[in-house]
Structure 1
Amino acid sequence: MRKPQTNASIQDGEDGMTESASVEGLSIEIDNGVAILTLDMPSNRNAFGSDVALEYATFFQEANTRQDVRSILIRSAGDRDFCLGGAVSRTPVPPPRNTIDYRFVSTPHIEMFKAMWELERPVVSAVQGTVAGVGWLLALLADMVVAAKGSRWSHVFVRRGMIPHAGDSFYLPRIIPFHRLNEIALLGDTVTADTLDKWGLINRLVDQEEVGDTAMALARQFAEQPTRAVGLAKRHYRRSLEVDWNTMLREEMAGQALYTTSADRNEILAAGREGRKPVLTGD
């Protein structure tokens, strides 16, 4: 598989940096350590195709080693829709030659969510309006979910005569309690964020006009944390869902040892000795 390419350009901004994504409908802004990714495709109700998925995948892969990115905020423009799932790419893709080849149609979205799952930078999603299809993954693979009261979530795959895809069957059972998952995925019932909050899937349930500010406050709080420590902790928690006890303990021990060499760890220790607030750089 080819590695996704990016043609992003970066320009100086008043409060940080602005990075223009190479595909229409997705903007990327870097503001004091917070990368703000905004879906803005109202004609598609923010459903996105393989071109946007590849852009996301590339950014997530690169974010792990970018000094200017210490947290990520995913949001949508407007208040009608967060994301209604996948869509036909704006860049035409040749159709599969036969049914067997159709297995690979969702590869760009698979790569995107794999990169999001493995991302060590903390992610906050700001959800308002309607969520459907793979929009569930875009929202719930975030580390913190901020959602508007009354926002509507519909899984839709089975109702549309489709099987959940793009990694849905791997990720959602690790996030949603099993019988609740059956309710939303097999019955296809629409639920509100209020219900998901009762199920423990929402971190902050707020009025719609508060979603943006609440999510940004969390993203900025993450950006002020010791970035490497947050990243390793996040990685370990997610890895523990996939590996055995011995493997997890060895990875945890290796991560603990590696982090002792970080600048932020040594700064925290020095600040403690000197009775001052640490100045963290994310390194």
Structure 2
Amino acid sequence: MSIDFTLARHVATLTINRPERMNAMDAAHYKALSDAWLRVRDDPEIRVAIVTGAGEKSFSAGADLKSFVNAQPALSETLLTQKDQLLNRGLEVWKPVISAINGYCVGGGMTLMLASDLRIAAEHATFSVAEVKRGIFPGNGGTQRIAQQLPHAIAMELLLLGDSIDAQTALRWGLVNRVVQPSALMETALAFAHRLARNAPLAVQAAKELAIRSRDVDLATGLRLEQIMLRLLQGTEDVVEGTRAFAEKRQPEFTGR
């Protein structure tokens, strides 16, 4: 039982490794996942991250509710807003994150997926936020990102009914980028990751940050932030390399400097 972490060719792979519990997470797993996201954020060798679940049945069932019953945290814990931050609970990770969804993507698993940037789903994947059937609602951004990423009526159907949808419906609604055979899931996710890792990392991270922050600012402010960020990037070694590689008709070798 763990959060497995591997790094190769600038791509980090985080695997929620608790298949016997459908990759549901107790407090220890959430803490380990938080530590993994901090490493993704802070390690300059990492340009892209993939998150997936162990086995072939489940991406993640979210919180292991049995482990949290009668374990309500103290109010003082609730006020520690930056403790053990997660990708879907406000941690700012501007490196691209890909979800490789290998089965059940429910509850906190779906809110994790919603906080990622690209989503590849196996054909048998299913999606739901059924917390209303348990007396609660999807936290860690569940009510926020669903409403941002889907048309209102569809978002309300998912949130208020709590029903499941299949991978093809998720594709049709724009929740995922690709639906593939299970055997091709990680191959497809890695292909996306390696393409992302070949791009200029500072430019990729700046583009992601600007796109995310655009949700919270007016257009004039967003355009001004773009202008300032472009001015910063113009002085980087990667811009020089990108321009030279284009003129020389070759692939650029970006360093993130």
The TM-score with structure 2 as length reference comes to 0.89
Change (3 A) 1:185 1:128: same
* Residue of 172, 188, 196 corresponding to 2:162: 188
Looking at structure 1, the residues matched to 147 and 76 of structure 2 have their Cα atoms a distance apart, in angstroms, of 24
For residues 220-268 of structure 1, the C-alpha deviation after alignment (integer angstroms, 9 at most, x for no partner) is 1111111111111011111111112232122111111111122211101
Conserved 8 A contact 1:113-1:137? no
Change (3 A) 1:88 1:72: same
Looking at structure 1, the residues matched to 204 and 192 of structure 2 have their Cα atoms a distance apart, in angstroms, of 14
Counterpart for residue 232 of structure 2: 258
Conserved 8 A contact 1:27-1:39? yes
1:161 aligns with 2:135: yes
Change (3 A) 1:40 1:131: same
Looking at structure 2, the residues matched to 86 and 203 of structure 1 have their Cα atoms a distance apart, in angstroms, of 25
Change (3 A) 1:114 1:153: closer
Counterpart for residue 230 of structure 1: 204
1:125 aligns with 2:99: yes
Change (3 A) 1:214 1:244: same
Q: Give the counterpart letter for 1:38 in structure 2.
A: T
Number of residue pairs the alignment of both structures matches: 257
Change (3 A) 1:119 1:217: same
Conserved 8 A contact 2:31-2:84? no
Conserved 8 A contact 2:35-2:84? no
Change (3 A) 1:236 1:229: same
Structure 1 residue 58, shift from structure 2 partner: 3.4
Any idea what SS the aligned residue of 1:118 has?
Answer: coil
Looking at structure 2, the residues matched to 104 and 68 of structure 1 have their Cα atoms a distance apart, in angstroms, of 33
Counterpart for residue 21 of structure 1: none
Change (3 A) 1:115 1:156: closer
Output the aligned Cα RMSD.
Answer: 2.8
* Residue of 48, 57, 70 corresponding to 1:80: 57
Counterpart for residue 254 of structure 2: 280
Looking at structure 1, the residues matched to 124 and 151 of structure 2 have their Cα atoms a distance apart, in angstroms, of 21
Looking at structure 1, the residues matched to 79 and 164 of structure 2 have their Cα atoms a distance apart, in angstroms, of 26
1:152 aligns with 2:129: no
The gaps in structure 1 that reach 5 residues or longer are 1-23
Q: Give the counterpart letter for 1:140 in structure 2.
A: L
Structure 1 residue 211, shift from structure 2 partner: 0.9
Looking at structure 2, the residues matched to 260 and 96 of structure 1 have their Cα atoms a distance apart, in angstroms, of 48
Counterpart for residue 23 of structure 2: 46
Counterpart for residue 70 of structure 1: 47
Task: Identify which range, 177-186 or 45-54, moves more after superposition.
Answer: 45-54
Conserved 8 A contact 1:25-1:40? yes
The TM-score with structure 1 as length reference comes to 0.81
Calculate percent identity across the aligned residue pairs.
29
Counterpart for residue 206 of structure 1: 180
Task: Identify which range, 232-241 or 146-155, moves more after superposition.
Answer: 146-155
Task: Identify which range, 149-158 or 73-82, moves more after superposition.
Answer: 149-158
Structure 1 residue 67, shift from structure 2 partner: 2.1
Structure 1 residue 49, shift from structure 2 partner: 2.6
1:33 aligns with 2:7: no
